Amino acid sequence: MANLDEKNVQKIQRAKKKYRVDVRMPNGKRITKTFSRKFDAEQFKAKLKISKQRINETGVDLDRTIKFKDFVEIWFKDHIEGRKAVRTIAGYRSNFKNYILPILGELNINQISYYHAKQLENFIMKSGVKARTVNKVMMVFKTVLKRSY
């Protein structure tokens, strides 16, 4: 009798519907995942579709959950080093070290908002620097953010 109940349980478990998402990314990577709910599968597929479109448009797949400080290092290697003057690079590094990273370094890129930009601006102004410095630091910050989107 116990065997009969176990077989019935197995049939019920097998009868549950599964939703499978199978997408081939432009870089050749195949992503496959199975969900028990159709809603979850559709959400996952939509995220992959957006990521796929971003890769097709820019050629780069950016992990949106990367920490801002880590993205800054990537940005320096890809867009600044070897392309800008030594004094410019030193100025950028100083701006990040003294003003930007203490406030925003530990945040994920997808968490940064207008509120954080205002918080950064207020922090810089409270440090007693001239308005020109505030504008330069904010310009560098905005430049990095534009590269992340």
Q: Are residues 144 and 94 in the same domain?
A: yes
Cα–Cα distance measured from residue 75 to residue 38, given in angstroms and rounded to the nearest whole number: 38
Q: Are residues 143 and 119 in the same domain?
A: yes
Q: Are residues 9 and 50 in the same domain?
A: yes
Domain contains 63 = no
Domain contains 23 = yes
Question: What is the model's pLDDT at position 5?
Answer: 53
Crossing angle between the packed helical segments 131-148 and 68-75, to the nearest 10 degrees: 90
- pLDDT over threshold 80, residue 9: no
Per the model's pLDDT, the better-predicted residue between 147 and 123 turns out to be 123
Domain contains 15 = yes
Q: Are residues 89 and 112 in the same domain?
A: yes
Q: Are residues 38 and 95 in the same domain?
A: no
Helix (H, G, I), strand (E, B) or coil at 30: strand
Q: Are residues 83 and 131 in the same domain?
A: yes
Question: What is the model's pLDDT at position 64?
Answer: 66
Q: What's the number of domains the chain is made of?
A: 2
Give mean pLDDT, residues 122-133: 93
Nearest to 35 by CA among 16, 48, 49: 16
pTM of the predicted model as reported, rounded to 2 decimal places: 0.58
List the domain range (segments joined by +) for residue 143.
68-148
Q: Are residues 10 and 47 in the same domain?
A: yes
- Amino acid residing at 9: V
Question: What is the model's pLDDT at position 23?
Answer: 84
Q: Are residues 89 and 113 in the same domain?
A: yes
Domain contains 27 = yes
Phi-psi region of 19 (alpha: psi -120 to 50; beta: other; left: phi over 0): beta
